[in-house]
Amino acid sequence: MELAIALIFAACALGAGIAMIAGIGPAIGEGYAVGKSCEIIGRQPECKGSVTTTMLMGCAVAETTGLYALVIAILLIFVAPNLMGNKLVSLIRDNKDMVKELAEAAAKKG
Amino acid sequence: MTHLLFAEGNFLEVISVNFWQMIISILNLVILYLILKKFLFKPVKKTLAARRAQVDELYGSAEAAKAEAETAREEYTAKLDRADESARKIVSDATRRANERADEIVGGAKEEAERLRRRADEEIAQERKKALNEVKNEISDISVEIAEKVVGREIREEDHREMIDEFIRDLEDGSRV
Amino acid sequence: MRTTEPKKTEYSGDAPVSRRDRILTRLWLVLMLLPLFAGMLLKLFLTPPSEGITVTGAQIYFTVSLPFPNLPAPIRDLPITEAQVNSVLVLLFLFFFCLFLTQGMRTRGKSARQVLAEFIVEKVEGFVSGTMGAGYAGFPPFVCAILMLSAFSSLMSLLGLYAPTSDINVVGGWAILVFFMITHYKLKAGFGSYVKGFLEPIPVLAPFNVLSEFSTPISMAFRHYGNVMSGGVIATLVYAGLAALSTAVFGWLPGFLGDIPFFQIGIPAVLSVYFDLFSGCLQAFIFAMLTMLYISLAAPEKETA
């Protein structure tokens, strides 16, 4: 059973790490947007305020997919083990006799 | 480092969806909308409208006062012009009348003088005639007396009247020449 | 020449501030700050002591069991959590804030509070008419409600309280309300054109259109919630890390001095400037702006006479 719990924790951690690969997208996009806006400010310094506001708003909207990934990662790290662990525990509690049989069979084999 | 407590003290999961809590949060938003509408937007809009009405009123009264001032000024200017004109008219009337009167008086005086002169002339002619008649009589009397003396008899006036008149007529013709 | 005096309305600026106004202003100010202190006291006394840190959701204070016996447990229970309590506290704060700002307003001789109130109202109205165009006269209070609730809920984490917007239920509720409003405005143009809108480019794309329709509120909610919640999570993690760091560096100090987490003073404040102030306010602004954009896009074209 420790193996099962360990497997759950490991899978969740791995999944969280892979999910955060999606953080590349918003970073590249927003960096490009900021670069473009700097270029425009360099060309026309008087529109600095308006360009900055628009850029920030655009960045906040483009951040969305990165946030989807973050939310899934947080779910995996903090919520899933709890849920999975509870489910496993309740599963074992409900099928106590089957688990006992399996354990005896395993002990008999090895 | 981070202990994942299967927590004591009751906690919700990090992400847990609960139906009634959503309803409560929607109710919160609606309540806040009503609060803001009644307690923030309505009083502020009322004050803004009152201020705008006050400003409009001030502008309106300023415009009205300006229009009033314009009409009053026009009125007074017109009055002044009319007063000037009537004053001038009065003065010119008086002058004209004075001139007419003077002419009248002078004309009357001239006429009077003319009349007097004519009367004087007539009187002079009359006096001259009278004097001439007197002289005629005198002469006739004197001539009668002279003739009486010359002739030595009494002359009757009527006989000699013709002779005397002829004589005076000769005198007049001679004097007229 | 006649001169007319301006009529003295009730908002004349020549009258001094009446005593009633002054007393009421101070009363609203005190009542405004009361919920915040109450929240802080609640958090201080009701948080159970814990070893290490936990990253969890809101703390449940008590659970109200609604009298619907036939429904399954998740729908029957109503947990009263920190999020709800803090939401109510924010509501009370904003209510007394409104009363505080509009106490004793006058047409001339403004006070600073009145300047702030007029600034808020005029800015929001300009915002709404700039984004949505004319003809949405009922919207400024709604947009202002979203903005203020969002911003002040996120800013509560500056006081150490649990921000209600860190809870998906709160933000999800707002997003669902906005979704219903968008659908309502789309249906105003007629039910037939609403359905036809889904078959727009090619009828085969209908499921994707439906999906994108549903993804609108989900994306709005997750954007807002994700930013605020991740800020909270990172703050907790940073706190724990700094506590461990200060224990490692200063652990040799005798007695209780070794337990004081020195590094926790000041450094998290810098982080909270970005996560709480900037991120919270920006996300509130974007949530409101997207609401206005979607609604103005969904409403039928106004016929110009």
pLDDT digits (tens, 9 = 90+) for C71-105: 665 566 677 788 888 899 999 999 999 999 888 77
CA-based nearest residue in chain A for residue C223 = A64
* Helix %, strand %, coil % of chain C (to 5): 70, 5, 25
Torsion of Cα atoms, B57 then C111 then C87 then C50, to 10°? 170
Query: C253 CA to chain A: closest CA distance, Å?
Result: 34
Q: Identify the pLDDT of residue C144.
A: 93
- Smallest Cβ–Cβ distance between B8 and the set C48, C75, C102 belongs to C48
ipTM of this predicted structure = 0.82
Chains linked to B by 3 or more Cβ pairs within 8 Å: A, C
Torsion of Cα atoms, C126 then C128 then C129 then C134, to 10°? -150
Q: What is the CATH number for A98? A: 1.20.20.10
Residue C2 lies inside a defined structural domain of this protein:
no
Q: Which residue range(s) make up the domain with B166?
A: 19-176
Q: How many domains does chain B have?
A: 1
Confidence of residue C303 (pLDDT cuts 50, 70, 90): very low
Residue B130 lies inside a defined structural domain of this protein:
yes
Q: Does residue C283 belong to the interface with chain A, where contact is any CB pair within 8 Å?
A: yes
Residue B10 lies inside a defined structural domain of this protein:
no
Residue C267 lies inside a defined structural domain of this protein:
yes
Confidence of residue B80 (pLDDT cuts 50, 70, 90): very high
Span C122-126, average pLDDT = 90
What is the rounded CA–CA span in Å between residue B58 and residue B73?
22
Residue B3 lies inside a defined structural domain of this protein:
no
Confidence of residue B59 (pLDDT cuts 50, 70, 90): very high
Tokens of C276: 């709480």
Tokens of A41: 């400010």
Judged by average pLDDT, the poorest of B98-102, B113-117, C149-153, C207-211 is C207-211
Residue C193 lies inside a defined structural domain of this protein:
yes
Judged by average pLDDT, the poorest of B54-58, C26-30, C184-188, C263-267 is C263-267
β-pair type (C60-65, C77-81): antiparallel
Q: Identify the pLDDT of residue A44.
A: 92
Residue C5 lies inside a defined structural domain of this protein:
no
Q: How many domains does chain A have?
A: 1
Q: Which residue range(s) make up the domain with A11?
A: 2-109
CA-based nearest residue in chain B for residue A83 = B13
Per-residue model confidence as pLDDT tens digits over C204-248? 888 888 888 888 888 889 889 888 888 888 888 888 888 788 777
- Average confidence score pLDDT of chain B: 84
Q: Identify the pLDDT of residue C257.
A: 64
Query: B15 CA to chain A: closest CA distance, Å?
Result: 7
Q: Identify the pLDDT of residue A107.
A: 86
Q: How many domains does chain C have?
A: 1
Q: Which amino acid is at B62?
A: A
Per-residue model confidence as pLDDT tens digits over A23-80? 999 999 999 999 999 999 999 999 888 898 888 888 888 888 888 898 888 888 877 8
Q: Which residue range(s) make up the domain with C103?
A: 19-44+57-298
Residue C107 lies inside a defined structural domain of this protein:
yes
Residue C304 scores a pLDDT above 60: no
What is the pTM for the complete model shown?
A: 0.72
Tokens of C288: 């409101």
- Average confidence score pLDDT of chain C: 80
| Cα–Cα distances in angstroms (integers) from residue C37 to residues C32, C89, C98, in the given order | 10, 10, 19
Query: Among positive and negative, which fits the CA dihedral C288, C98, B30, C190?
Result: negative
CA-based nearest residue in chain A for residue B13 = A79
